[in-house]
Amino acid sequence: MERGHAAAEERFGHLDILVNNAGVVRVAPVVDESDDGWHATMAVNSTGVFYGVRAAIPALRRNGGGSIINIASIYGPVGAPGYIAYTASKGAVIAMTKVAALEHAHHGIRVNAICPGPVRTSMSEQEGDTSVDITPLRRRAEPEEISSAVAFLAR
């Protein structure tokens, strides 16, 4: 992570924005989730966000501020049966976002999380359409809907 942020600073002179958007979904209820599945999901969805935020903050401070945008999930605050690792990992993203925002606001660093419901991606298509039942519109969001929110928060 640090090398990536350093490369951005070297090439562009500064780092303005970090978007943490990597994620994996595992569908497994509590009693069926494996240790490997749990650790793999947490590594990508939570630990990866932590490493990205930790590495970006010094560069953003040198820049005089900036924006960190973490993509969480509606499952983070509300939970979902059958998604123990995913829900826990996205809940951790929300908690980390709050802490980083509180710790670094005085440096001009804004830290936000976007918590979409199901989004139409190749990853989410594997789940089937039952996950849309939790959304008022009864459909998956389009990626452009999420990217518009990211662009707004990045300003």
Tell me the C-alpha distance between 106 and 97, whole Å.
15
SS3 27: coil
Through-space distance between the first and last CA atoms of the chain, rounded to whole angstroms = 23
pTM: 0.89
Q: How buried is residue 68: exposed, middle or buried, by Cβ count under 10 Å (0-12/13-18/19+)?
A: buried
Which of 51, 75, 83, 86 is catalytic? The answer is: 86
pLDDT score recorded for residue 140: 82
- Report how many domains make up the chain: 1
53 contacts 1 by C-beta, under 8 angstroms: no
Alpha helices in the chain (DSSP H): 2-12, 35-42, 48-63, 75-78, 84-104, 122-125, 143-154
CATH number at residue 54: 3.40.50.720
Strand order in the sheet with 66-71: 17-20, 66-71, 109-114
Known active-site residue 83: no
Positions in the chain short of pLDDT 50: none
SS3 66: strand
Closest CA to 133 of 60, 82, 96, 72: 82
64 contacts 75 by C-beta, under 8 angstroms: no
pLDDT score recorded for residue 61: 97
Encode pLDDT of 91-123 as tens digits: 999 999 999 999 999 999 999 999 998 887 777
pLDDT score recorded for residue 128: 59
Domain of residue 110: give its range: 2-154
